Amino acid sequence: MTTLYHYPLCPFSRKVRLLLRERNIDPDLIVEAYWQRRKEFLKTNPSGEVPVLIMKEEKICGHYAITEYLEENHESLLPKDNIARNEIRRIVDWFDNKFHYEVGKIILDERVQRRFLKVSKGGGLPRLERIRIAIHNLNYHMDYINTLIAERFWLTDDQISLADLTASAHISCLDYLGDIPWKKYPAVKDWYTRIKCRPSFRSLLMDQVMSIPPRGKYATLDF
């Protein structure tokens, strides 16, 4: 049995879900509100972070470790060509670090996590100045992504790769919250539509977070 501890609006959890489904692995999903630092979950992962994958009696914590584990033990999603692999890893790193910390983490912290935390632990209303900064960064980064995908079917080549799955995991969290101005970025919209149509993405489109319904046409393929 395969089990994944995740949170629906955690981009790294979404990334792992996509990596599993692209390999036709359908895990049992356990939603973990990681900021609560639940004692039972801390026994599973003392760092208190998601995702955590339990597979074949092995426990793998963190999206980097899970990605490597799947690459080593299942069908690889990386090409054999070193130049192509390097480009994929460059884009993966860009989304997991620069895009996440300058955009995604700020918006998710303000619009999701602060909603559920006690005031004494940093909860409260979203801080609008921080959101404005993140939205400014989002537009800057979307310009880059739009240029990157304008002359390609997928982010790095003519075939879907780890780069596309990573990118869509991050972008889909913001799409759930209604923060992507799709009309400004037609090339990214076309690429994201192709991602949304994949069977591996279907369960993400059905995600629901308590008291935070998906915005706009998040769950529809034609948007």
Query: How many Cβ atoms are within 10 Å of 3's Cβ, its own excluded?
Result: 15
Burial 38-50 (b: 16+ CB within 10 A, else e): eeebeebbeeebb
Helix (H) or strand (E) holding 55: strand 52-55
- Respond yes or no on whether the N-terminal peptide bond of residue 186 is cis (omega within 30° of 0): no
> Which structural domains are found in the chain, ordered by start?
2-73 (3.40.30.10), 82-205 (1.20.1050.10)
* CB 221 within 8 Å of CB 192: no
Residues 6 or more apart whose Cβ sits within 8 Å of residue 163: 87, 88, 91, 92, 95, 154, 155, 156
The CA-atom distances, in angstroms, between 192 and each of 49, 67, 172, 220 are 27, 22, 9, 12
Average pLDDT over residues 12-40: 97
Query: At 155, which amino acid appears?
Result: L
Tell me what pLDDT residue 222 has: 78
Query: Which of residues 48 and 157 earns the better pLDDT score?
Result: 48
Tabulate helix, strand, coil % of the chain (nearest 5): 55, 10, 35
pLDDT over 90 percentage in the chain: 93
More confident residue, 215 or 121: 215
pLDDT digits (tens, 9 = 90+) for 80-113: 999 999 999 999 999 999 999 999 999 999 999 9
DSSP assignment, residue 147? H
3-state secondary structure 3-46: EEEECCCCHHHHHHHHHHHHCCCCCEEEECCHHHCCHHHHHHCC
In the predicted structure, residue 9 carries a pLDDT above the cut 80:
yes
Q: Residue 151 pLDDT more than 90? A: no
Give the per-residue pLDDT at 157.
87
Distance between CA 81 and CA 3 in Å, rounded?
Answer: 32
Predicted confidence band of residue 39 (pLDDT cuts 50, 70, 90): very high
pLDDT confidence bin for 78, thresholds 50/70/90 = very high
